[in-house]
Structure 1
Amino acid sequence: MNIKSLLIGSAAATAAVSGAQAADAIVIPQPEPMEYVRVCDVYGAGFFYIPGTETCLKIGGYARYEISWAEGDDGWKKMARGTLTVDARSETEYGTLGGFIELRAQTQSGFTSNEGYVVVDDELVNNDVDNYVQLQQAIISLGGLSMGVSDTLYDAGLSGEFDSGGGDRVHFIRYTFDAANGVFVSVALEEADYNLDYTPNVVGSLGVAQGWGSVTAWGAYDATAEEWAAKGIASINATSAITLELLGTYESGNSFYSVSNGGNGGYEWSAGGYVKFAATPKMSIGFGGQYFVNEHGTDLDDYALGAVLDYEIVENFDAKLAVNYRDGDNFGDDNNWSGFARFTRSF
């Protein structure tokens, strides 16, 4: 065997080994194209498409811290609250299909009780009023039809922190029709937790909203109490900086839709007003009052006054300072001052 033969044999062996390795090589597949989240601008800022669908989703909420005081308290009360909202929408042949959820958690000092409880649909899972988690809203909507849990259709008042317009959270089925020129009509069947039966409450509203402001009227019938209530609110844009609001209520007797004043109520009728002045693009000042006449069962009269300062520290971070005063026949010599400082970071 000569040198030439050895070289030829080595080359052949090397080629055979290389061929075997090539046959066993692992082929790495190319990555699939990534589907990035797309912005959905159909319903306003903050919405995006859920990947692989035509449903638009918006996640929001706020974090809040509040320090409050009232005559008769032994010290400052502190409250921290967080809310999380999820808003899903898509288009169908019957109109916009929507789903909205609001979860709220809160912890508060100043009460004599154990810590920690959960509230689902106003039912206590364990017993405390300092801390809770609550399903605040859960709404399904299709076109003008909506159903779920939220504030009553009757829930509306003045812009201050002193007033009462009646009503609270309910289970509901509601239909809203938006006509031309800003006219809208709503009708709802509602059930509060205390009137669990086969006969729902009935609520309706009629209003108009245009560039000059808005006017809305409500009527409600409490099937359990067999009493009815009515309310009207007008909001007028007097100038580019001044807004005037007027409120009037009437009720035949105590019901779920009765107004209250510092724990007293309801009242046969009430009237109130509020003026808001936008001093700067970031700061506004408001002042108003409400008078309550003929408390049911006592015929006592009361009133409430309030002032509010709102200030936008930076975008999505606001501060509010409120001072309220309540007095009248129900209070005697014990008039009631209260107020709070509130900070809210929205997202």
Structure 2
Amino acid sequence: MNFKKIAIAAAAAAAATPAMAADLPVVAEPVNYVQACDAFGAGYFQLPGQDTCIRVHGRIRTNFTTHDLTKDYEATAYDPDGIPDNADDVSANAYDAYARGYVYLESMTDTEFASIKTYTELTATWNDDANDDGDQGIVGLGNAYVQLGFDNVSVLIGRSGGVFDPFGGYSEIGTVGPVAGGEDALQISATADLGNGLTASFGVLDSDAYGGATKAANFEAGLSMTQGMYSASVFAAAHAYDADAATTTAQDVDYGYAFAAQVEANISDSVKVGFGAAYADSALSYIGGDRDFTQFADALGTTGYNLVAGAEFGLSDTVTAALDASYTSLDVSGFDASVTTVNASVVYAPVAGLKFVLDGGVARDSEDGELAQVSTRVQYSF
């Protein structure tokens, strides 16, 4: 067979054949590609066809805390001899463990009016104590807010950490202490950049988050400065509390107050130190008081102060250690009480986002009461 003649004949036939529909040009459908929003930081991407950029990230945390190591694990409030006799003698000095997932949803939009940021924190928790009744977990909402950014001022509306934010040490968990105030609360707050590292903040917050009066407002203000390796802040708060909380069911709103100051210094690339002091009068939540206890202590005119010091050390590229100490003193209707705490932690972070934590501490109060606990944590943020 003459392959050369066959090839020539085939080429001639193809040249004489009319163009088919498949040979006609085809218009490609438009594709909306996801684009990164570098202006807002890593992880943001633009929604197709919109001016809004979003970021979705999260965290998984498992945490275990021992019982009070200064006491017999089997001792119970129901059994003076310390020997459980039946199922009702469940130890009040047991360990605590939980697993919790976090999902953070953020959005950023530039408009002619202001930059608009939204933040939503969703949580799902399995706690060995909270879920003893057979529940399949606890789903919750953490902080959620809208933040409007203008030239040098930002305004936050929603639930977030308060303006009053005293130094609380560097320990990763703070199993025992040190104690410091500061709560997440519904609020309207504003922060202004005054230039040269100086910022000023003011907020109106829900007092109930601080164990205060219901349907009443706390007022907080702060002034912070950062200059090179040093930073310093001062805070003040007016706290609405129920003056009749300890005697009647009717609410009589009165105001207490709190002040705090702190200073931090980056001594080197691997060493940071900090110190803080706070004072409160009928506003014990601001120095770390238990929320339920403060409802009555504030009505009694309780005063108190705390001192907190801490240091953080970068031992290597993957290991960080911290050591903190605090002293808190209270005057409750003429009765003085105090507690001293020491807490430490070691964090191993072999890769970005992953942490293995060992944290623990001891405490002693003015009545010679003691507490010692250790926590471990595995956490991954993405």
Fold agreement, TM-score > 0.5: yes
The alignment partner of 1:313 has SS state of coil
Which of 170, 177, 180 matches 1:159?
170
Report the alpha carbon displacement of residue 60 of structure 1 after superposing the two structures with TM. Answer: 0.8
Which of 267, 273, 279 matches 1:238?
267
| 2:278/2:287 contact within 8 Å kept | no
Does residue 318 in structure 1 map to residue 355 in structure 2? yes
The alignment partner of 2:196 has SS state of helix
Which residue of 2 is the match for residue 209 of structure 1? 226
Counterpart residue type for residue 342 of structure 1: R
Which residue of 2 is the match for residue 60 of structure 1? 57
Which residue of 2 is the match for residue 98 of structure 1? 117
Report the alpha carbon displacement of residue 294 of structure 1 after superposing the two structures with TM. Answer: 2.8
**Unmatched segments (≥5 aa) in structure 1:** 1-21, 118-130
- Cα distance in 1, alignment partners of residues 261 and 373 from structure 2: 27
Report the alpha carbon displacement of residue 116 of structure 1 after superposing the two structures with TM. Answer: 2.6
- Cα distance in 2, alignment partners of residues 200 and 289 from structure 1: 32
The alignment partner of 2:142 has SS state of strand
Does residue 180 in structure 1 map to residue 180 in structure 2? no
109 and 244 in structure 1: CA distance in 2 versus 1, 3 angstrom threshold: same
Which of 214, 218, 221 matches 1:196?
214
* TM-score for the superposition, normalised by structure 1: 0.81
The CA deviation string for residues 271-291 of structure 1, in whole angstroms up to 9 with x for no partner, is 120011111121111111001
| 1:185/1:207 contact within 8 Å kept | yes
Which residue of 1 is the match for residue 146 of structure 2? 140
- Cα distance in 2, alignment partners of residues 202 and 219 from structure 1: 8
The CA deviation string for residues 308-346 of structure 1, in whole angstroms up to 9 with x for no partner, is 10110211111111011111114x3x4100121111110
| 1:220/1:229 contact within 8 Å kept | yes
The CA deviation string for residues 245-297 of structure 1, in whole angstroms up to 9 with x for no partner, is 10101011244424238998776111120011111121111111001123433
Counterpart residue type for residue 274 of structure 1: G
229 and 173 in structure 1: CA distance in 2 versus 1, 3 angstrom threshold: same
Which of 268, 276, 279 matches 1:247?
276
Which residue of 1 is the match for residue 317 of structure 2? 281
Which of 257, 268, 283 matches 1:228?
257
The CA deviation string for residues 146-177 of structure 1, in whole angstroms up to 9 with x for no partner, is 11012222244222211222132211000100
Which residue of 1 is the match for residue 134 of structure 2? 115
- Cα distance in 1, alignment partners of residues 202 and 360 from structure 2: 35
* TM-score for the superposition, normalised by structure 2: 0.74
Report the alpha carbon displacement of residue 96 of structure 1 after superposing the two structures with TM. Answer: 1.7
The alignment partner of 1:32 has SS state of coil
| 2:287/2:305 contact within 8 Å kept | no
| 1:218/1:232 contact within 8 Å kept | yes
The CA deviation string for residues 81-107 of structure 1, in whole angstroms up to 9 with x for no partner, is 000001101112343211111111111
- Cα distance in 1, alignment partners of residues 258 and 214 from structure 2: 20
| 1:261/1:304 contact within 8 Å kept | no
- Cα distance in 2, alignment partners of residues 270 and 343 from structure 1: 31
The CA deviation string for residues 173-204 of structure 1, in whole angstroms up to 9 with x for no partner, is 0010012121111000000435332x411000
Greater CA drift, 254-263 or 244-253: 254-263
| 2:169/2:311 contact within 8 Å kept | no
Greater CA drift, 131-140 or 181-190: 131-140
- Cα distance in 2, alignment partners of residues 89 and 342 from structure 1: 32
- Cα distance in 2, alignment partners of residues 35 and 208 from structure 1: 44
Does residue 300 in structure 1 map to residue 340 in structure 2? no
Which residue of 2 is the match for residue 346 of structure 1? 381
Does residue 41 in structure 1 map to residue 38 in structure 2? yes
213 and 61 in structure 1: CA distance in 2 versus 1, 3 angstrom threshold: farther
The alignment partner of 2:337 has SS state of coil
Counterpart residue type for residue 234 of structure 1: V
Q: Identity across aligned pairs (percent)?
A: 21
Report the alpha carbon displacement of residue 31 of structure 1 after superposing the two structures with TM. Answer: 5.1
115 and 181 in structure 1: CA distance in 2 versus 1, 3 angstrom threshold: farther
- Cα distance in 2, alignment partners of residues 267 and 172 from structure 1: 25
Counterpart residue type for residue 210 of structure 1: Q
| 1:228/1:255 contact within 8 Å kept | no
